[in-house]
Chain A
């Protein structure tokens, strides 16, 4: 289990990324990981060890809801969907993130 050379996810950003991915529609855990991976131009890899605990936590918080469905290859899979509460949360976190990353960029530029 060697550490990947790729940049690891900043603490707390995973929730935002998961919620953002889910804004495109309901998808299962693997699809969420893939979406984030692709959208980040293969830079970010979400490992299942952090993904599933995050999903279970978000579900408990009411930011997403889950139901069982059939996957594209006809397997039973759990589909996650963003809730109203989740959308509100994503807007908030996105604003925070933008402010934060902008600030970091400004610091590094000087």
Chain B
């Protein structure tokens, strides 16, 4: 404490005091005829002062001020460095915050750590009575349920919209502790007809009017009271940025819900699981069903790292983000090398200054610190710029409605993790940019020419490393670009260019009757087919890529009583489906109204190959259904297969039933229309027709091409992201190469002048400079390719079948691009070299 005060109050006078004192000392020595000390007054001063200063911070501050003053004189360097570092750090933090939000975000509930997702009997969803049973067992503090994947029809007085609804148990909001913006959550004493609105839905349809609470909205024809509004940054339990439109109490008898349980304080996941086994056993005795609740039960954490560890799909995405981070990390490295190269050139200019300071007795550590101040200043400014950039990017990204069938909105906000990551990157960048140039300057001795040579060699090595790194980044980017092209070339198995899809969600109140539903479907097909330009209309239980229904069941062939287990994708369609979708019928025929006598199916060729055991498909009969009431089905047609979930998937077995043969228990029904004119022009007419037939049904109408966009999204995102990162890396490397080439030409001006003077032609000079650049590029590229072959190996899991990471064509293209870049970067220096005027250049020397 005392020292601190002394330091604070006395230091101003220190300098004058010491001067007076030393002068007095010398005077006295002279007066007493002692030898006058010839000590280095400056050194004494430094030594004495170091004690009295807050030396580290004060030195740092002075260094920063000095660095700022110096850098102000070279705006080109500052601009290049800021751009390089800003882009590098910006891209890195943006990618990091995206990954953190996607993988580790916490849902908007009280104490997410004590919540667990519960499954019994292997089912993701269970009926409400199961939830009630578990709750009443007292094993957990509370148990709630939600059905996340449902639609509701919202009528705003003019139009009906299909919106995304989450149906919950009534204790959902209280048990989970969901924070609200206005009003309250649903409470156990509420009637069925209440709703909580999501912020965005509220903004879209109610203009963000807070007085909306207590008013009513029309959902599926029911008049519901709005009780609360969720905040803008509400995160659902599912995560991944899923943002539904409304929450409402589950009111239909057969709705099944995903179960979430609040653990009692101090209860571990393992203990909860053990307790659940006992509860499930009691439940098996109390509620008899076809399977056992006791089997395949699980208790999983819902948030943060614990969830990440327990779910496989998360880990795959995690690997993808890790890969992205590694690649953008390489880009930052390239940027750092650029700045290091610039600082190295600057260090040459400061050689004299540093030599003098060394001669005057400045410590090397002290000088190192001063030189690092340059890069510290640049990196901190660069990081600031980068963070601003990443915030803008993230905000823009969050505003984009991704072309997905479900509303996903990532809420990217800066938090301590992102800040810590940015700080880490910045300190890395400071060292990466500054250490090498600073060390070079300080260890430099009095043989400057020797050192200039070494410094150039160092810069050339750095540029070669930079080129190698860009090759790795580019090779990865290209791989994903190839992947995009390859996967776009894969046909989904049906026509997406001339077709329109209409996805209708019927209100449950008026369509619980199957007959009424069938009448509606028939009427829609008839009226849509009457629209001008429409060739064929079909109805289907589902359309590939927008919905999926997989079966695994046993078929019995009555001819030899053989039983076969088959896994297939199921669909139920009207007879015109295959014509409308342009799915070729290979054998037999499509369904016909005359089929009502017995049950018929159409299968795809994969189904025939895998399940029929060499039987002639047409006319083959099999028994299918629950053990006690197996029904006989006859195959009437064989069609080509379609892809159903992802474009890159292996061909799956498929089975189609006529839509009028099944008990249609679903409220969601899809229509496909084949149009003679561009399908985009039909959308309005289709919407109008659907609205006139059933104003209460929400309908989503779009071209087939845009509705299967999701299938291409992963490869598109990969290609765009990695492609642009690759280009960024390339540009940065080009800047570095250009800098080195210019420097080397300037250094060799005299040599070039002599060559021209003794008769070198322009061609000779051009060859000389270009050759130099080409050698550098080639060396870097070859090293990069060699590394890339190993580094890209683990990428195979993200690629379309048939595409290998170590693709010679891919690497060839990257090599070519690098060489062209080398040529482009050498263009300026070459012009400079051939314009050297031997007379003036030699006179200057």
Same complex for A and B? Answer: yes
CA distance A57 to B20 in the complex (A): 18
Query: Does chain A have a CB within 8 A of B17?
Result: yes
CB–CB B21/A60 < 8 A: no
Query: Does chain B have a CB within 8 A of A106?
Result: no
Known A-B contacts A48-B25, A76-B24; the reply to A53 vs B2 at CB < 8 A is no
Chain A residues with CB under 8 A of B27? 75
- Residue on A with the closest CB to B7? A60
Query: Does chain A have a CB within 8 A of B28?
Result: yes
Chain B residues with CB under 8 A of A52? 18, 21-22, 44, 48
A34, A47, A56, A71 — which one has the most chain B CB atoms within 10 A of its CB? A56
CA distance A78 to B14 in the complex (A): 12
CB–CB A73/B31 < 8 A: yes
Q: In the assembled complex, how far is the CB of residue B678 from the closest CB belonging to chain A, in whole angstroms?
A: 86
Chain B residues with CB under 8 A of A33? 25
Interface SS of chain B? helix
Chain A residues with CB under 8 A of B52? 56, 60
Query: Does chain A have a CB within 8 A of B47?
Result: yes
CB–CB B51/A57 < 8 A: yes
Bitwise interface map of B from 1 to 17 toward A, beta carbon under 8 Å scored 1, else 0: 01100110000000001
CB–CB A30/B37 < 8 A: no
Query: Does chain B have a CB within 8 A of A49?
Result: yes
Q: In the assembled complex, how far is the CB of residue A109 from the closest CB belonging to chain B, in whole angstroms?
A: 36
Chain B residues with CB under 8 A of A1? 38-39
CB–CB A48/B51 < 8 A: no
Interface residues on A, range: 20 to 34
Chain B residues with CB under 8 A of A61? 3
CA distance A33 to B24 in the complex (A): 13
CB–CB B44/A48 < 8 A: yes
Query: Does chain B have a CB within 8 A of A62?
Result: yes
CA distance A60 to B38 in the complex (A): 26
From A34, A49, A76, B37 is in contact (CB under 8 Å) with A49
Bitwise interface map of B from 66 to 108 toward A, beta carbon under 8 Å scored 1, else 0: 0000000000000000000000000000000000000000000
Known A-B contacts A47-B37, A49-B40, A53-B44; the reply to A78 vs B21 at CB < 8 A is yes
CB–CB B44/A29 < 8 A: no
CB–CB B51/A60 < 8 A: yes
From B20, B28, B40, A76 is in contact (CB under 8 Å) with B20
From B2, B3, B37, A48 is in contact (CB under 8 Å) with B37
Chain B residues with CB under 8 A of A26? none
Bitwise interface map of A from 56 to 82 toward B, beta carbon under 8 Å scored 1, else 0: 110111100000000101011110000
Known A-B contacts A49-B37, A53-B48; the reply to A78 vs B22 at CB < 8 A is no
CB–CB B29/A30 < 8 A: yes
Q: In the assembled complex, how far is the CB of residue A53 from the closest CB belonging to chain B, in whole angstroms?
A: 4
CB–CB B51/A53 < 8 A: yes
- Residue on B with the closest CB to A73? B31
Q: In the assembled complex, how far is the CB of residue B101 from the closest CB belonging to chain A, in whole angstroms?
A: 52
CA distance A71 to B20 in the complex (A): 13
B32-79 at interface with A (beta carbon < 8 Å) = 32, 37-40, 43-44, 47-48, 51-52
Query: Does chain B have a CB within 8 A of A87?
Result: no
CB–CB A62/B44 < 8 A: no
A34-50 at interface with B (beta carbon < 8 Å) = 34, 47-49
Chain A residues with CB under 8 A of B29? 30
- Residue on A with the closest CB to B43? A49
Chain B residues with CB under 8 A of A76? 20, 24
- Residue on B with the closest CB to A28? B24
CB–CB B40/A30 < 8 A: no
CA distance A33 to B21 in the complex (A): 13
Chain A residues with CB under 8 A of B20? 76, 78
Q: How many residues of B contact A (CB 8 A)?
A: 26
Chain A residues with CB under 8 A of B24? 28-30, 71, 75-78
CB–CB B44/A49 < 8 A: yes
- Residue on B with the closest CB to A78? B21
CA distance A30 to B22 in the complex (A): 9
CA distance A48 to B25 in the complex (A): 8
Chain A residues with CB under 8 A of B38? 1
- Residue on B with the closest CB to A31? B28
Chain B residues with CB under 8 A of A59? 6
- Residue on A with the closest CB to B37? A48
CB–CB B28/A30 < 8 A: yes
CB–CB A29/B21 < 8 A: yes
Bitwise interface map of B from 316 to 343 toward A, beta carbon under 8 Å scored 1, else 0: 0000000000000000000000000000
Chain B residues with CB under 8 A of A78? 17, 20-21, 24
CA distance A53 to B22 in the complex (A): 11
Chain B residues with CB under 8 A of A57? 48, 51
CA distance A29 to B20 in the complex (A): 11
B2, B17, B21, B37 — which one has the most chain A CB atoms within 10 A of its CB? B21
Known A-B contacts A30-B29, A52-B22, A78-B17; the reply to A47 vs B39 at CB < 8 A is yes
A1-46 at interface with B (beta carbon < 8 Å) = 1, 28-30, 33-34
- Residue on B with the closest CB to A75? B24
Bitwise interface map of B from 107 to 135 toward A, beta carbon under 8 Å scored 1, else 0: 00000000000000000000000000000
Chain A residues with CB under 8 A of B43? 49
- Residue on A with the closest CB to B17? A78
Chain B residues with CB under 8 A of A71? 24, 28
Chain A residues with CB under 8 A of B25? 29-30, 33, 48
CA distance A26 to B315 in the complex (A): 76
- Residue on B with the closest CB to A1? B38
CA distance A60 to B1 in the complex (A): 11
Chain A residues with CB under 8 A of B40? 49
CA distance A28 to B39 in the complex (A): 19
B783-828 at interface with A (beta carbon < 8 Å) = none
- Residue on B with the closest CB to A77? B24
CA distance A42 to B44 in the complex (A): 24
CA distance A15 to B18 in the complex (A): 19
Q: In the assembled complex, how far is the CB of residue B71 from the closest CB belonging to chain A, in whole angstroms?
A: 34
CB–CB B37/A56 < 8 A: no
CA distance A57 to B44 in the complex (A): 12
CA distance A76 to B3 in the complex (A): 26
Chain B residues with CB under 8 A of A62? 2-3
- Residue on A with the closest CB to B14? A56
- Residue on A with the closest CB to B25? A30
Chain B residues with CB under 8 A of A47? 37, 39
Chain B residues with CB under 8 A of A28? 21, 24
Given A53-B48, A71-B28, 9 additional A-B pairs, CB 8 A: A1-B38, A29-B21, A29-B25, A30-B24, A30-B25, A49-B40, A52-B48, A57-B51, A60-B7
- 9 closest cross-chain pairs (CB), A and B: A49-B39, A30-B28, A56-B48, A53-B47, A53-B48, A30-B25, A48-B37, A77-B24, A78-B21
Sample (29) of A-B pairs whose CB atoms are under 8 Å apart: A29-B24, A30-B25, A33-B25, A34-B32, A48-B25, A48-B37, A48-B44, A49-B37, A49-B39, A49-B43, A49-B44, A52-B22, A52-B44, A53-B44, A53-B47, A59-B6, A60-B3, A60-B7, A60-B51, A61-B3, A62-B2, A62-B3, A71-B24, A71-B28, A75-B24, A77-B24, A78-B17, A78-B21, A78-B24
